[in-house]
Each structure stands twice: as C-alpha cells, then as structure tokens.
Structure 1
Amino acid sequence: MCGRYSVAARLEQLRDMLQEDGIMIDEFAADDRFGEYYPSNNVRPTTFRPVMYRQSGDNQLHGRLMRWAFIPPWEHEIPRGRPPVFNARSDNLSSNMWTKAFHEGGRCIVPADGYYEWLTLERTKEMGLSSAIVAQVNKTGKLPYFVRPREHTTRLMYLAGLYTKTHLKSMNGDNRDQIVYSFAIVTTDAAPSLEFLHHRTPLILEPGTEAFKNWLDPDYKHIEHLPMKNDAKMVERQIEADKADIYLSGPKDGQKIIDDKSSITRFLGAKRLGENDISSSKRIKSEPDSDEAELIKTPIKKEPTNSPSRSKDRLSPLHSPKKKSGKSDSKSQKITSFFSPIKK
C-alpha cells in the first residue's frame, strides 16, 4: 500500500527529471487558494501534489497539482470527520466510487522519488526473515523502508492513480462553486521482490510502455487489458527497497518552513542543525492497514503558505543515498547537505 511518498523536487526540477525519462510537460497547473506547493520527502494525504493526465481527444499530457485524498464527484464539501481515501484497490476499480474515474477518463499517473513502507514485527515472522532483521524491528516495533527506482533506470517512479474533478460549495459565501481536483493511488498485490515488506504495493508503470500509454489515454476502451498487477520482472529489475535511517516528518501546523522540504531532519546522528531549525526524527505512531483509508485524528488543515527557501539539492530519505560513478570520500557522504537559499 502507500501511505507516504516523496516528491523532493521543485516543480521546475521535476519537469527536467520527467524530460530525462522521456515525458514532456509544460507546467503543473495550480490553484493558489489551496496553498502554495512545497517539495516534500514526506508527502502525506490531503496535501496537493503533482499529477499527470490526459483529456479526451487531446494528445497533450497535462500536469496539475491535485489533492491526495479522493473526493467523490457527488460530494459538496471536503469530507471531514472521516478517514481520507487515498488508495484504491486494483481489484475494486469497477465498483463503488471508482467506476466513473476508471472507465471514463479519470486515470492519471503520479510521479514520485519513491514511497515508504514499514516492516513490522508481524511481517518479519510471517516471511521468516533473518534474526538480525527481526532484532532491528523488535527495537522500535516498525522499521521504515524507502522503495525507489534503482540507479541507471528511471529518475522517478510512476504510480498509477485515479483522479476526479469535484464542484464544492464556496467557502467564501459568494455562492460560486469551487472546483477541486483530487486523486488516489492504485494499489495491487506486491511483486515477489517487495513482498517481504507488505502484501500490497502501488501499481507501478514504466514510461515508454503500452501499459503506461494506455493508462493515461482516456479514449482507450479496452479496460480489461489495462494492467492490474505489477510486472514482477520489471519491479525486480528496476525497483529497490532500502532501510531509511529516519522517518522524515513534515511540519506541524503553524510551524515555519525554513527550506523547501517538509521534513527538516538533516543528520543521521543525534547532532542538531541549529536552534532555529525544525528537527524531528519522530516516527508516526501507527500506519494505516487499509487500502481504503487512513485514520487521521486531527482535522484537515490548510497547508503552510510560508514561502520556502530554495535549493538546488534534493534530500534523500535514505541512510545511503544513490551514488554516482566515480570515487568519493565516504565520510563526506554521511550528512545530507543542508539547503542554501537562493541568492538574490
């Protein structure tokens, strides 16, 4: 399943990365009424994130910031007091709230650096993992992993999704509808190479393939031929899972964002960045165990609108970032570089 993922690039950087993978997008449309986009290596449900889609009769690929938590088209208000629906099971797409989006042009693709999964003690015993792994998990109850593309494959991971456009009542009392785009990530049975982590994973699509093209094509009518499971060989060849040294938390409501990541923890050890930095190594207390919803006890809150400082670097949530070819000083790689603001 997928309860947290990473998009740690600014939109202009993301467009460049998509281009490297052979995907051309001019821009990601946004509505500033819902808060400013900020890169995050801890994307959580109900935030607005980049999504790619096509419209019927139009060959152009469009990009838009959409709310990660599906709002059915019959709703007139953002659902409150009940869990947000941010995953859609692949074996349930022809029923309930997914029917219209799945069959009538609501398929989309969500670009990501990768996603998080938590290895639980129960899972280690189910899968018969080594005693060393069991001992590590036993210390904290859960061990965070980051699942991402292998080096020399694609720059990004592409997750199948469903989106919808919902007309909500105006929150300003002007009797004008607000149009909100929202999406959910499609999940399926885990491929054998990732099964040790969880029995379900996002549906991953490979750029340049027919599956990728047809998923985005709203005029494609052979729904029965769309992929509902991951290509096991592709996942084993292109996707890897690494232990994340820390679970990177986003800013709490009211906190000032001081860089372009919603997570501010920088060090792999106990040393803090400075008294003005927000630092947290806290793991969330419980991860959702349902693909339909996650129990979020706090009310939905507007995203922080403070303008984040900019950086050319992107933070990896891993204890061991991807390495380029060539030699480098291993000691100098122990600390993820801090983000420098743009020079005016």
Structure 2
Amino acid sequence: MCGRYASSRSPEDLAEEFEVLDPRLERALPPSWNVAPTAEVYAVLERVAKDPDGGSDVGATARQLRTVRWGLVPSWAKDPSIGSRMINARAETLAEKPAFRKALQVRRCIVPADGYYEWYVTERTTARGKPVKQPYFITPSDGSVLAMAGLYEIWRDPTRADDDPDRLRWTCTVITTSATDELGRIHDRMPLMVGRDARDAWLDPTLTTPDLTALLTPAQQGGLTAFPVSAAGGSVANDGPELVRPLPLEELPTAPTSAEVEDDAQGRLL
C-alpha cells in the first residue's frame, strides 16, 4: 500500500510537467517530505468544460491542478471521516466496490509525488516483541515526477448552505496493486503509475473503456529505485528533505530505537 509519500515540487513545476492549462489553486501547498493521510495534496484531473451562460457541458475538457484531501469520501457517504480508511484503492476490485466504481469511470486523476515510503518488516523485534519495520523510500531513478494513479470524488456537506464555498469537499485515493520483483520484497502492495503516453487517456472523463486499469503501469516497471531512510518519518511531526536521505548500511539500527519502543508508531501509519 501507499501510506506516506513526499511532494516537494511547486505548483508551477507540476502544471508544466502535466500540461495543466486551468489551475484551480487558491494557494500553494508547502513542500512536504512526509505527506500523511487526510492531508491536503495536489491532484491533476480533467473536468468537462461548462458553458458560462447556460452552465451546460460544452464537450471539451480542461486539465486542472487542484488541492484535494488524501482519503476518498464517496459522494453518498453520510460521514466524511470514512476518508481516513480510503487512502488506497485496490486495482483488482475497483470496478466492483461501490466507493470506487463510478469514480473509475469518470473521476480519474494523477497524484504527483517525489516518491513514496514503504516499511519493510525486519527479523528484529522491539522491546515489546513486535517486528521492527525499516522504512524505504521509493523514487524514480532519474529524478522525475512520480505520477501515481488515483481517483477523486466530490462530497457535499449537507450541514452547509448551497452558497458556502466550503460546502464541497474534494478528496482522492491512490490505486495500488500487488508488488512483485525487487519492490515486492519490501512490501506486498505498490501504487500503480500513469505513464507519460497514457496520461491523456487516463485523465479523459469521456473515455469509458471496459478495462481502464490496462492504461496503468505497476511501480516496478517504472524505473524506480528503493533505499533505506530514517525512521523519523514515522511521526507526522517530522518533515524535511533529511527524511529521504539514503541511509548508509552502517547507520541502519541494530537494536530497537527509543521511538520503536515508545509505541511502535509505524504500525498505526500503515
């Protein structure tokens, strides 16, 4: 699964990378090397353009860069807190699950990232006897932007007036699949990626082919590299580029750290 990732690029850089012509940002998000569930994140998506006079669809689509919350809230949800349990969507069941089925057809997006974290279960144990988890950062070998496949939804808050600008909540989820090859040794799930040649089709809300996930690429085929990093990223209080600094083998802990003994915090984050 994908439970944490890094996103440090500016909206201007992302708009250029993903050919966004209609940015919808009220403000830029600060760079983060420890993006956690329910945080505000960037998403690239396309919406069918509206006639400014009549409000009807005009057929053309416009590619947008928006801020959304990570953790999908289906439009029919009674309580938005459900989003904290929907940060990932399994590719194998997207077309079956009510929470994702409609979004797969018309509300697909790309979640840009520098890379993502996975926690490898080592043979060591904490003082409480729990397995020690070593975080790895997985990122494109060439330093390019990681285009994680996602879905988005728009939830209407029934407690707010129709003219309240906060009435609509935009949320997203990251699509995952089974991990194999080298990355599979770290974690059994990984995000699906949208290759450059598949971006137009994946984002097009008018495209409703039977198997849209065929457009996606498993992470291990995307030229990624994985390396161990500091366990400090296990706490949402920590952020900064030092979290993605490769950890030399001699710096890998050989005994439980104080953070691991304190609460084995990583278990809550996965």
Scaled by the length of structure 1, the TM-score of the pair is 0.60
Q: In structure 2, give the amino acid aligned to 1:145.
A: Y
CA displacement 1:182-223 (0-9 Å, x = unmatched): 00000011132311111110011211x1x3322111111213
Which ranges in structure 1 are unaligned for 5 or more consecutive residues? Answer: 122-133, 253-261, 269-280, 289-293, 296-344
1:157 pairs, out of 133, 146, 160, with: 146
CA displacement 1:8-39 (0-9 Å, x = unmatched): 233234445x2xxxx2124642467xxx7322
Per the alignment, residue 308 of structure 1 pairs with none
Kindly indicate whether the alpha-carbon contact (under 8 Å) linking 2:140 and 2:224 is maintained by their aligned counterparts in 1. Answer: yes
Q: CA deviation at 1:87?
A: 0.5
Kindly indicate whether the alpha-carbon contact (under 8 Å) linking 1:192 and 1:232 is maintained by their aligned counterparts in 2. Answer: no
1:29 pairs, out of 24, 32, 44, with: 24
Q: CA deviation at 1:170?
A: 4.2
3-state secondary structure, aligned to 1:194: helix
Q: In structure 1, give the amino acid aligned to 2:156.
A: H
2:174 pairs, out of 176, 181, 185, with: 185
Matched, 1:212 2:199: yes
Kindly indicate whether the alpha-carbon contact (under 8 Å) linking 2:73 and 2:155 is maintained by their aligned counterparts in 1. Answer: yes
Per the alignment, residue 226 of structure 2 pairs with 241
Matched, 1:44 2:33: no
Aligned residues: 240
Per the alignment, residue 7 of structure 1 pairs with 7
1:64 pairs, out of 51, 63, 66, with: 66
CA displacement 1:256-314 (0-9 Å, x = unmatched): xxxxxx6158598xxxxxxxxxxxx95761346xxxxx78xxxxxxxxxxxxxxxxxxx
Matched, 1:230 2:231: no
Give me the whole-angstrom Cα distance separating, in 2, the residues matched to 1:188 and 1:232: 9
Q: In structure 1, give the amino acid aligned to 2:171.
A: S
Give me the whole-angstrom Cα distance separating, in 2, the residues matched to 1:179 and 1:59: 21
Q: CA deviation at 1:147?
A: 0.5
Q: In structure 2, give the amino acid aligned to 1:85.
A: M
3-state secondary structure, aligned to 1:79: helix
Kindly indicate whether the alpha-carbon contact (under 8 Å) linking 1:108 and 1:163 is maintained by their aligned counterparts in 2. Answer: yes
3-state secondary structure, aligned to 2:170: strand
**Residues 93, 112 of structure 1: alpha-carbon distance in 2 compared, 3 angstrom cutoff:** same
**Residues 187, 265 of structure 1: alpha-carbon distance in 2 compared, 3 angstrom cutoff:** closer
Kindly indicate whether the alpha-carbon contact (under 8 Å) linking 2:42 and 2:111 is maintained by their aligned counterparts in 1. Answer: yes
Give me the whole-angstrom Cα distance separating, in 2, the residues matched to 1:234 and 1:64: 28
Give me the whole-angstrom Cα distance separating, in 1, the residues matched to 2:84 and 2:188: 22
Q: CA deviation at 1:73?
A: 0.1
Matched, 1:169 2:164: no
Q: Which runs of 4+ in 1 moved over 4 A?
A: 134-140, 173-177, 249-252, 264-268, 281-284
Give me the whole-angstrom Cα distance separating, in 2, the residues matched to 1:217 and 1:150: 28
Per the alignment, residue 285 of structure 1 pairs with 265
Give me the whole-angstrom Cα distance separating, in 2, the residues matched to 1:86 and 1:53: 17
**Residues 29, 9 of structure 1: alpha-carbon distance in 2 compared, 3 angstrom cutoff:** same
Which ranges in structure 2 are unaligned for 5 or more consecutive residues? Answer: 49-58, 246-257
Percent identity between matched residues is: 28
RMSD, matched Cα: 3.4
Give me the whole-angstrom Cα distance separating, in 1, the residues matched to 2:190 and 2:241: 26
Give me the whole-angstrom Cα distance separating, in 2, the residues matched to 1:112 and 1:264: 15
**Residues 40, 232 of structure 1: alpha-carbon distance in 2 compared, 3 angstrom cutoff:** closer
Give me the whole-angstrom Cα distance separating, in 2, the residues matched to 1:239 and 1:2: 15
Give me the whole-angstrom Cα distance separating, in 2, the residues matched to 1:241 and 1:286: 18
Kindly indicate whether the alpha-carbon contact (under 8 Å) linking 1:191 and 1:232 is maintained by their aligned counterparts in 2. Answer: no
